[in-house]
């Protein structure tokens, strides 16, 4: 059999240069689409990667071609040693980015600037305080909004992640797009995805078509511009002419982008996942702690990667919620 050129190239020829590292399983919000109502079983602390383990493991991936790392969670800013982790990783030749709910962002602005981290994805699903409380079960709306303003003012490249759910916030599509009028941010509308315990249902998802219908009711055809997508981009990108920012639609469910997938995921307890929807995990941290090389287990994970959404390739299979109940909840994967 022909050998793949790198342990990060899968059997379909996809090169994995993007590693998403979850730093923590805990969160200071309780977004109902992410955190199951019964909570999640947390790993014992000693089973989570330490700051130096995150760095040493990331270094192995970088030596095989990873050039982009995103830190996520749970809420990554809950890690007391977050500043240390960012400082370590900033010494690697990678583009380093963070996904956060923004609640604690003001505490880390200086650490992020010092480490040269410029890319921040901040999650915010509504622009209404009461609705925010209903969606996240916490009253931190103003902290998040103030921290979004702060990040923009401090010159960070800010993307706002908005998970759209029918009956909850799809009436805010235009309000979110209007945020891009005077601010150079990207609003990213993300389709609601199925994970263990999140009561997903296909009828609750909002498709690209629905979003564009709303847009065409509010703006003229000549105002809407389709703009170029970046390589391996999961999003379709748009802008309203004359607006400073842009908006994008990520349709994982109705329009998957598996053909160009370049992502691997490392959970906070050091398990490697080759797909967001996979229920197969490789115990990378345990092997690392034993002193053995982790390269064979990385190669195994990449080699097992399926062509489309962890093998749920027909829409019927994917749309069957039962097929997602063996997987981790989103909060324990790291989105």
Closest CA to 16 of 242, 299, 249: 299
Bridge partners, residue 198, by sequence: none
Do 246 and 238 meet the contact criterion of CB atoms below 8 Å apart?
yes
As a whole number of angstroms, the distance between CA 27 and CA 329 comes to 13
Identity of the residue, 208 or 304, whose beta carbon is nearer to ligand SAM in the bound complex? 208
Q: Does 278 bind ligand SF4 (CB under 6 A)?
A: no
Closest CB 225 distance from ligand SF4, rounded Å: 30
86-105 residues in contact with ligand SF4 (CB under 6 A) are 101
Which one of 75, 151, 180, 265 is in contact with ligand SAM (CB under 6 A)? 75
Spatial distance between the Cα atoms of 295 and 302, rounded to a whole number of angstroms: 11
Q: What is the DSSP letter of 55?
A: H
The site partner of 35 among ligand SAM, ligand SF4, none (C-beta below 5 to 8 Å per kind) is: ligand SF4
99 binds ligand SAM, rule: CB under 6 A: yes
Q: How far is the CB of 263 from ligand SAM (least distance, A)?
A: 13
Q: Out of ligand SAM, ligand SF4, none, which partner does residue 256 contact, by CB within 5 to 8 A per kind?
A: none
The helix (run of H) or strand (run of E) holding residue 100 is strand 95-100
CA proximity to 194, closest of 33, 334, 71: 33
d(C-alpha 20, C-alpha 333), whole Å: 10
Say if CB 127 and CB 172 are below 8 A apart: yes
Would you give the DSSP letter of residue 196? T
Q: Which stretch binds ligand SF4 (CB under 6 A): 29-37, 61-69, 190-198, 226-234?
A: 29-37
Alpha carbon dihedral 8, 11, 13, 19, in 10-degree steps, equals -30
What mask, x for binding ligand SAM by CB under 6 A, covers residues 161 to 180?
x-x-----------------
| Site for ligand SF4 contains 35 (CB under 6 A) | yes
Specify the stretch interacting with ligand SAM by CB under 6 A; choose among 99-107, 235-243, 269-277, 314-322: 99-107
> What are the residues whose beta carbons fall under 8 Å from the beta carbon of 62, sequence distance 6 or more?
92, 93, 94
281 contributes a contact to ligand SF4 by CB under 6 A: no
CB atoms within 10 A of CB 333: 26
- Whether residue 166 contacts residue 180, with contact meaning beta carbons closer than 8 Å, is answered with no
**Residue 138 or 300 having the CB closest to ligand SAM:** 138
Contact (CB, 8 A) for 264 and 19: yes
Query: Which residue's C-beta sits nearest to ligand SAM?
Result: 335
Residue 126, interface with ligand SAM (CB under 6 A)? no
Q: Which stretch binds ligand SF4 (CB under 6 A): 60-68, 72-80, 228-236, 285-293?
A: 72-80
Told to check if 331 binds ligand SF4 by CB under 6 A, we report yes
Distance from first CA to last CA of the chain, Å, rounded?
Answer: 35
Within positions 107 to 166, which residues make up the interface with ligand SF4, using CB under 6 A? 123
CA distance 260 to 143: 36
18: partner contacted, choices ligand SAM, ligand SF4, none (Cβ within 5-8 A by kind): none
Asked if residue 123 binds ligand SAM (CB under 6 A), the reply is yes
8 Å CB contact between 140 and 115? no
Q: Which of residues 290-329 bind ligand SAM (CB under 6 A)?
A: none
- Between 35 and 74, how does the x/- string for binding to ligand SAM read (CB under 6 A)? -------------------------------------xx-
CA-based nearest residue to 57, from 315, 247, 327, 268: 268
Q: Point out which residues bind ligand SF4 (CB under 6 A).
A: 27, 29-31, 34-35, 73-75, 101, 123, 331
Q: Point out which residues bind ligand SAM (CB under 6 A).
A: 27, 33-34, 72-73, 75, 99-101, 123, 161, 163, 190, 192-193, 195, 198, 330-331, 334-335
């Amino acid at each position: 059999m022909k050998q793949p050129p790198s342990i990060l190239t899968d059997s379909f020829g996809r090169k994995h240069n993007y590693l998403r590292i979850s730093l923590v399983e805990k969160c200071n919000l309780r977004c109902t689409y992410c955190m199951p109502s019964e909570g999640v079983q947390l790993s014992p602390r000693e089973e989570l990667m330490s700051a130096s383990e995150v760095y040493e493991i990331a270094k192995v991936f970088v030596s095989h071609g990873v050039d982009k790392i995103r830190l996520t969670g749970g809420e990554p800013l809950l890690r007391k040693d977050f500043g240390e982790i960012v400082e370590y990783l900033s010494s690697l030749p990678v583009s380093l980015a963070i996904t956060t709910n923004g609640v604690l962002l003001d505490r880390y602005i200086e650490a992020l600037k010092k480490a040269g981290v410029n890319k921040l994805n901040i999650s915010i699903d509504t622009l209404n305080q009461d609705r925010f409380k209903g969606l996240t079960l916490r009253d931190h709306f103003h902290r998040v909004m103030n921290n979004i303003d702060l990040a923009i003012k401090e010159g960070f490249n800010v993307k706002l992640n908005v998970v759209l759910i029918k009956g909850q916030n799809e009436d805010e599509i235009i309000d979110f797009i209007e945020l891009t009028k005077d601010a150079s941010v990207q609003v990213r509308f993300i389709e609601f995805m199925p994970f263990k315990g999140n009561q997903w249902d296909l009828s609750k998802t909002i498709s690209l078509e629905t979003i564009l219908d709303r847009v065409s009711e509010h703006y003229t055809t000549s105002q809407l511009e389709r703009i170029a997508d970046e390589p391996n981009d999961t999003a379709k990108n748009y802008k309203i002419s004359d607006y400073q920012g842009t908006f994008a639609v990520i349709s994982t469910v109705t329009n998957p982008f598996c053909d160009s997938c370049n992502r691997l995921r490392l959970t906070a307890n050091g398990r490697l996942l080759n797909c967001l929807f996979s229920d197969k995990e490789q115990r990378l941290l345990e092997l690392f702690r034993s002193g053995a090389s982790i390269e064979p287990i990385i190669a195994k994970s990449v080699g097992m990667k399926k062509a489309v959404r962890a093998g749920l390739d027909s829409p019927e299979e994917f749309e069957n919620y039962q097929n997602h109940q063996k997987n981790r909840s989103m909060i324990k994967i790291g989105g």
